[in-house]
Amino acid sequence: MNFLPPTRERFLLAIAQEVPAERIAEIHFFQPMKQGGVESGVAVVAADEGRSADVEVREDPELALQPSAIAARFTVYTARYRLVLKGPDRGKWDASVIAEADAPLITVDAVVRGVQRRSGDVDAPERMGGDEVRAIVPAPDPIPSPERP
């Protein structure tokens, strides 16, 4: 099992409650910000209806030119969390995951770079692939089948 800091793991699990882990192709986690006793974080999530074989497009630019790769579209979500670190509401946690668009993974990369540039974040967001997500997020319990006599 991969090690994640506790807040990152909590954020990942909150995302997986809204977007099933088997649909997640990748997540880009931006560096959390701490201000006034509150920590907040943002992630961009790309998901499809099943495990996509087109994820390797990002690894091989030649594949990006093929029509099947261009046609592969993913739902793009923005995930946010807010954790109160100090004060009477210490420990309060809020998270949201909102579908923003659908686009190919190449476009998701452009969006992530744009968010990074606008935020002034010098560190690149941490990318987590779908297989890494599924290695951390527990699989849902199967629906029990009715007992037969």
54-78 pLDDT, tens per residue?
Answer: 444 455 555 555 555 455 789 999 9
Q: Average pLDDT of the chain?
A: 83
Assigned domain for 146 exists = no
Assigned domain for 127 exists = yes
Gyration radius from the chain CA atoms: 17
What is the spatial distance between Cα 76 and Cα 67, in angstroms, rounded to a whole number? Answer: 20
Domain that holds residue 118: 6-136
Assigned domain for 53 exists = yes
Which residues does 86 contact at the CB level (< 8 Å), separation at least 6?
Answer: 37
**The pTM of the whole model exceeds 0.75:** yes
Assigned domain for 14 exists = yes
Assigned domain for 144 exists = no
Assigned domain for 142 exists = no
Assigned domain for 38 exists = yes
Number of domains comprising the chain: 1
